[in-house]
């Protein structure tokens, strides 16, 4: 796991590289953005540049493994498997929606903000929970 929490000041892998750990979790190598901390939810674009999720986010979603907190930094983000993520409210087996708080999700149904392919798998404790994800995506349209 330590490898996936590394933050690189210079790019060490091709952006978009996907690797799997021994537990079967998959990670993608992305460019960071200001204020990202471990467990933040981000969307990323076709250039593999991240933006912290907020209401009306659009695109593929990942969870930060470390504080990849500048556009001059690079790191690993979870895209498939079981990961800790930042959450306002929620519970075991809850659907996931992005919120107006950057990088955080909750279980409040907001029609255009569902994160598809993501399920909360533990109780919320100290704004953190375990999530099961499989290449999650925000569509920014009525989906539920």
Instruction: Summarize pLDDT for 11-42 with one digit per residue, the tens.
Output: 999 999 999 999 999 999 999 999 999 999 99
With cut-offs at 50, 70 and 90, classify the pLDDT of residue 144. Answer: low
Q: Distance between CA atoms of 108 and 98, rounded to whole angstroms?
A: 9
Q: Does position 44 have pLDDT exceeding 70, yes or no?
A: yes
Tally of helices (H runs) and strands (E runs) in the chain? 0, 11
How many other C-beta atoms are found inside a 10 Å radius of the C-beta of residue 143? 13
With cut-offs at 50, 70 and 90, classify the pLDDT of residue 109. Answer: confident
Q: Distance between CA atoms of 83 and 54, rounded to whole angstroms?
A: 19
Q: Does position 126 have pLDDT exceeding 80, yes or no?
A: yes
Task: Report pLDDT digits (tens) over 54-107.
Answer: 999 999 999 999 999 999 999 999 999 999 999 999 889 999 999 999 999 999
Q: What is the pLDDT of residue 113?
A: 92
First-to-final CA distance of the chain: 34
Q: What is the pLDDT of residue 1?
A: 56
By CB atoms closer than 10 A (0-12, 13-18, 19+), residue 22 is: exposed
How many other C-beta atoms are found inside a 10 Å radius of the C-beta of residue 64? 29
With cut-offs at 50, 70 and 90, classify the pLDDT of residue 140. Answer: confident
Q: Distance between CA atoms of 49 and 27, rounded to whole angstroms?
A: 15
pTM, two decimal places: 0.96
Q: Distance between CA atoms of 84 and 73, rounded to whole angstroms?
A: 21
Q: Distance between CA atoms of 69 and 42, rounded to whole angstroms?
A: 12
Q: Does position 141 have pLDDT exceeding 90, yes or no?
A: no
Length of the chain: 144
How many other C-beta atoms are found inside a 10 Å radius of the C-beta of residue 63? 26
């Amino acid at each position: 796991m330590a490898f996936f929490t590394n933050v690189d000041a210079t790019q060490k892998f091709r952006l978009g590289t996907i690797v799997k750990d021994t537990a079967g979790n998959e990670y993608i190598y992305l460019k960071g953005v200001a204020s990202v901390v471990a467990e933040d939810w981000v969307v990323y674009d076709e250039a593999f540049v991240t933006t912290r999720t907020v209401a009306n986010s659009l695109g593929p979603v990942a969870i930060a493994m470390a504080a990849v907190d500048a556009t001059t930094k690079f790191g690993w983000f979870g895209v498939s498997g079981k990961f800790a993520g930042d959450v306002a409210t929620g519970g075991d087996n809850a659907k996931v929606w992005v919120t107006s708080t950057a990088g955080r999700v909750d279980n409040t149904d907001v029609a255009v903000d569902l994160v598809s392919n993501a399920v909360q798998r533990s109780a919320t404790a100290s704004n953190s929970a375990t999530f099961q994800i499989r290449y999650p995506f925000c569509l920014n349209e009525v989906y539920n």
